[in-house]
Structure 1
């Protein structure tokens, strides 16, 4: 499933060619890809190391016969890659804000890019050093989170949806409300990051996922507290083991990871709930450089070279085939198998995208308020047990949620992303 497309298409090979194709993909890539060696050899003997900070499970790493992107870059350029991982935008932000560790390349999501720009935490990019930016689709350039395209290059995009085990449920849910169904107590997983968890509650209540109304945020927080007795665990990367191993039945997560989990466990399915969802974009950026030194200039060039390498069409295609997210790189998209390009999970229809919203950067005041509410949710006791509640209270709670959802709140679409009218403003 995760092998590069050009390997899949080989046919009628001689025994010698078959033996060659069994070699490492790094060797194949080196002899097949048409790199600009004058460009990539600039720092060959400069003894440069870059620290790359990315999401977990978010780059092709050589597993399952995939291309090892970092190893290929090191071999090509002589630049060493010190690669580490984070699990939430908030942990990335906190790590950078603390100043305890220096990173040269980071992968924040849309709203976090905007926040970091506002707080002068990102370095402007020199696009002369990133010629492969030409392959980024026009509809992904000058996005709302970086309107002048000064600080970021799109890496992936996708949607958040509901992953569920059909064999454990026996039916196909179509609403986020199943995450509040007491019939599935302790079989439900929830995001361990505040922005994504709050978005689900806000969608349930008919509010914008970018609301800054404290009353609406309080109601969303209460809904998440109500859910807590049902939640088995708050997760990020831990979701893979739990859903693939039939340890849980229901979880919200990202479409690309859902595809990977479904390939491991055939009982798993994915749906965009009828209330709508988040349409997200992840980007590659360079954190603010504190001192202008020869070392920092070399590291910045190396970092921009790394970003450019990620957008080599063949590299981007191999990477996307491994992580299964959606690519903003038009040239890479054309190299993917038709089955991948037509997968409605990776590349949803316009109708589905019309019912999505894109995160925007919230005010500092709202971010602090959200942090406080999330701390309260995480530290709160599980409270009442749904199974021991009187039935009339269970019914009253369900009725209360239903009435709130029915109100739809006139603000529901106040900041909703309109896919049809915003093709050029992703």
Structure 2
């Protein structure tokens, strides 16, 4: 979700200058547009060696940034892009993606059933799943030793009367969380539900212990250090940081709220006018290999959509929170794709939540 999400700001300038300088044959290059730190460098090296090519990576820090870059000409500059599920229909409608040639993707058969024929891309016409995960709460268990997995710890001031907390910068995720707390589906889109969710977030924002809107990565350090007592993040980010600093994250826990939360999928797609579509198909098929798929998850700490990869995963990725239990999975929903009046309404309401 992303996202990610796990994903810091754009580092495009210097890289883009190299990408399009023409100092080497463009036919020998694959141009990948991805979230930052979302790929094991060893996988890139293995692909380069196998196909005798150079992979040039460029990065984005948000889905809106990625979308705008493609609309501004990137659609003919990149061979691979990695959008989150709720942006895929928007990109298809805008003519930014080309259909996949599945005859070049035999490893598509490795995908788990839940990622075949997904609602955001029927019959996987344009995308192949890359990684997936869930959105939830990170809680300081010293501050909240009896914390329950519920959005109430965020939105109910009688549950959290004074401890500092933040909300996520991703507006659609927060609208889903607010809807779920109010007893509506996480993937709500009805006008009344969206308005009530905005009112709840405004009320929450004006509490004295609210510290601001944050990205998923900074909030992890804030909660582990006690700067915030809780926040919203992604399971893979949490696992990665806990792995890197087990002692620092000993008093934290990742929770999927009982009212419902986000299941997100980041997928590989080929821009509509990609310069090297055949090589792009080779890359997608390479990532969908069982051992490569496991290597990608073991590096990022996000869940694999690759059934054949599961046996190669590190142990931490074969249990919650990387693989939610059946009860939690039943509560997870895709963030809806908004368009037309629904998108305009969301954008207006989110702007009001942030500015008022």
TM-score, reference length from structure 2: 0.82
Counterpart of 2:17 in structure 1 is none
Answer yes or no: is the 8 Å Cα contact 1:186–1:232 preserved in 2: no
Q: Distance in 1 between the 2:189 and 2:162 partners?
A: 31
Counterpart of 1:348 in structure 2 is 324
1:60 Cα deviation (Å)?
2.3
Answer yes or no: is the 8 Å Cα contact 1:110–1:283 preserved in 2: yes
Answer yes or no: is the 8 Å Cα contact 1:313–1:331 preserved in 2: yes
1:363 alignment partner, one of 339, 344, 347: 339
Counterpart of 1:3 in structure 2 is none
2:241 alignment partner, one of 258, 261, 266: 261
1:360 Cα deviation (Å)?
2.9
1:245 Cα deviation (Å)?
4.0
Counterpart of 1:282 in structure 2 is 266
2:187 matched to 1:213? no
Counterpart of 1:270 in structure 2 is 254
1:113 alignment partner, one of 80, 83, 88: 88
Q: Which runs of 4+ in 1 moved over 6 A?
A: none
Answer yes or no: is the 8 Å Cα contact 2:167–2:212 preserved in 1: yes
Alignment of 1:69-218 (within 5 A): 69-99=43-73, 102-180=77-155, 183=160, 187-218=164-195
**Structure 1: gaps of 5 or more residues:** 1-44, 62-67, 291-295, 381-426
Answer yes or no: is the 8 Å Cα contact 1:261–1:268 preserved in 2: no
Answer yes or no: is the 8 Å Cα contact 1:52–1:104 preserved in 2: yes
1:242 alignment partner, one of 210, 217, 222: 222
Counterpart of 2:299 in structure 1 is 322
Secondary structure of the equivalent of 1:279? Answer: strand
- RMSD between superposed Cα atoms in Å: 2.4
Aligned length: 323
Q: Distance in 2 between the 1:301 and 1:238 partners?
A: 38
Secondary structure of the equivalent of 1:354? Answer: helix
Q: Distance in 1 between the 2:69 and 2:176 partners?
A: 23
1:240 Cα deviation (Å)?
4.1
Q: Distance in 1 between the 2:68 and 2:74 partners?
A: 10
Q: Deviations over 1:124-143 (max 9, x none)?
A: 11223222222212332111
1:362 Cα deviation (Å)?
2.2
1:155 Cα deviation (Å)?
1.1
1:338 Cα deviation (Å)?
4.7
TM-score, reference length from structure 1: 0.70
Q: Which stretch of structure 1 is more off in the superposition, 222-231 or 198-207?
A: 222-231
Q: Which stretch of structure 1 is more off in the superposition, 92-101 or 325-334?
A: 92-101
Answer yes or no: is the 8 Å Cα contact 1:114–1:360 preserved in 2: no
**Structure 2: gaps of 5 or more residues:** 1-24
1:220 Cα deviation (Å)?
0.9
Q: Distance in 1 between the 2:54 and 2:219 partners?
A: 31
2:207 matched to 1:233? no
Answer yes or no: is the 8 Å Cα contact 2:140–2:251 preserved in 1: yes
